[in-house]
Structure 1
Amino acid sequence: MADLPTVPLPEGFLTAPLAHRALHDLAAGRPENSRAAIGAAVTAGYGIEIDVQLSRDGTAMIFHDYDLRRLTGEPGAVAQRSAAELSAIPLLGGREGIPTLAEGLACIAGRVPLLIEMKDQTGALAAGPDRLERAVAEALEGYEGPVAVMSFNPHAVAAFGALRPDLPRGLTTDAFDDEEWGLVPAATRARLRGIPDVAATGAGFISHDVRDLASPRVAALKSQGLHVLCWTVRSPAQEAEARRVADNITFEGYAPAAPGA
């Protein structure tokens, strides 16, 4: 990967806490990554973090898992269904189907910061076809509002940067331990622990696992001026600890103070 230019992260990403998979709450009928959860986050004044997967026919869908079962009860992979089929599958705990990224963007309409995580499509955090990156870039054509894109897969971030060098991008980062990342080759995990692809991807930020914020590499990157976000904060006490390192948080399960509150 050749080095890409860095695009500054808009200020809103450093002030508005980011609702993880939008402001989801099953008890209130708002499944994760749903239009209802997105609308609730906008109303509350939070930034929004969402995930995107690719449909069989090349549409970016707002959905976290590779497989449909946990969130819909349906068998099979997201990539095996068309966008129309996915949109017709109800999310468990809600009253709506899986939204396209375009539908999510229309819901937000630039009113709050949006952080889009492109889910790895290779299964190994490796280089692969750029179909998802192209689908995200296409959906963002003409979108007006603070938006940034990130991925655990640095190849995906670089591919998106080549398509949309004008948009902020970052790396989702982790300690990449064996238990959670066992399907990824050990050599790849060892390399990614060092977060070596900041310059190559033009990353203006990382979003790091809150459990690993004490990493010396995170401290070194922050000292170099890189913005540090983190995931996933689940209590006020954890937020207070995370903010000793992180510039902002991605949260779920409680209500942090929103800007102006």
Structure 2
Amino acid sequence: MPFALLDRWLSPAPDPRKVAWLGAQDYAHRGLHGAGVPENSRAAFARAIQAGHGIELDVQRSSDGQPVVFHDDGLERLTAETGPVARRSAAQLGAIALTGSAETIPTLRQVLAQVAGQVPVLIEIKSERGSRVAALCLAVRRVLEGYMGPHAVMSFDPRVSRWYWRHSPHTVRGLVVSESDARGVSGAIRRHLALWHCRPDFLAYDVRDLPSRFAGAQRRRGVPVATWTVRDAEDDARVEAFADAAIFEGTVGKARTGAPADRE
């Protein structure tokens, strides 16, 4: 009961009009990628747009301060290059081929120009423990200035949502959550402390943790819950019962334009 009162006081639920679009469809995790179509590529985003799905993508900061669309902080897994993304300029990164394709690493500005408001976009801002997040948050905000399509930023790092709450309150902001091995009292306390610190408009929750007492409590008071990474029918059943939208891979994503599922 004290948690519920503190949640309402320290992290008020968003205006429903601000977040209504979040649950209208599911989101292709790093685009609709697959054989010959790499994750976080313009080809993967084109496939998602064609299918009518929202898009979830990741951003890192280049050496010249531009947000680029790439999941890892290093180049090794997804390209033939090595080394940190942060040591290459956006132009240099844009010349690097993604493995198994002719696709290259795009900037966030290029991807938003491609999407052009056709589908919603969830932008996960990547950060390392102990790193400074303000520069990347500011770089993303500058790219988003004037972008009219539905969009949100989110991160595992509570400092990201807090930065947007303080410096860009009109931007929809989310906290990415995985309960992992922290399901006891100490984990619950940490989740509430993160919530109070960053005041998110929505949660992006690990589907493996659903149903969750914490996520259910936030959802009941009007904080939407998206869930990741949804890969099969069992995961999708959890979405229907315990969340508002899926961040999915494969073929389970759908347009959720009917009445929302009953809340917990």
Q: What is the TM-score when the length of structure 2 is the normalising length?
A: 0.85
For 1:59-89, what per-residue CA distance to the aligned partner results, in whole angstroms no more than 9, with x for missing partners? 0000001111101121101111111110000
Q: Distance in 2 between matches of 1:247 and 1:64?
A: 24
Q: Distance in 2 between matches of 1:243 and 1:260?
A: 13
Q: What is the TM-score when the length of structure 1 is the normalising length?
A: 0.86
Asked if the contact 1:48–1:114 (Cα under 8 Å) also holds between the matched residues in 2, the reply is: yes
The AA in structure 1 aligned to 2:63 is: R
Task: Please say if 1:207 is aligned against 2:214.
Answer: no
Task: Please say if 1:149 is aligned against 2:162.
Answer: no
Asked if the contact 2:62–2:88 (Cα under 8 Å) also holds between the matched residues in 1, the reply is: yes
- 1:51 partner SS: strand
CA shift in 2, pair 1:97/1:116, >3 Å: same
For 1:95-130, what per-residue CA distance to the aligned partner results, in whole angstroms no more than 9, with x for missing partners? 12100000000010011110000011xx32x57241
Structure 2 unmatched ranges of 5 or more: 1-9, 259-264
- 2:77 partner SS: helix
What does 1:132-211 correspond to in 2, within 5 Å? 132-177=136-181, 190=187, 193-211=190-208
Greater mean deviation of Cα atoms: 230-239 or 214-223: 214-223
- 1:103 partner SS: helix
Q: Distance in 1 between matches of 2:189 and 2:60?
A: 22
Aligned to 2:261: none
Task: Please say if 1:14 is aligned against 2:23.
Answer: yes
For 1:192-231, what per-residue CA distance to the aligned partner results, in whole angstroms no more than 9, with x for missing partners? 7524333442311100000001221112212222111100
The AA in structure 1 aligned to 2:137 is: E
CA shift in 2, pair 1:44/1:249, >3 Å: same
- 2:78 partner SS: helix
Structure 1 unmatched ranges of 5 or more: 179-188
Q: Distance in 1 between matches of 2:165 and 2:225?
A: 19
CA shift in 2, pair 1:85/1:7, >3 Å: farther
In terms of fraction of residues, the more helix-rich structure is 2
Aligned to 1:223: 220
Aligned length: 244
Q: Distance in 2 between matches of 1:167 and 1:241?
A: 28
Aligned to 1:97: 104
Asked if the contact 1:206–1:227 (Cα under 8 Å) also holds between the matched residues in 2, the reply is: yes
Q: Give me the CA root mean square deviation.
A: 2.3
How far is the alpha carbon of 1:167 from its aligned partner? 1.0
Aligned to 1:30: 37
Q: Distance in 1 between matches of 2:49 and 2:39?
A: 14
Partner of residue 235 from structure 2, selected from 222, 238, 251: 238
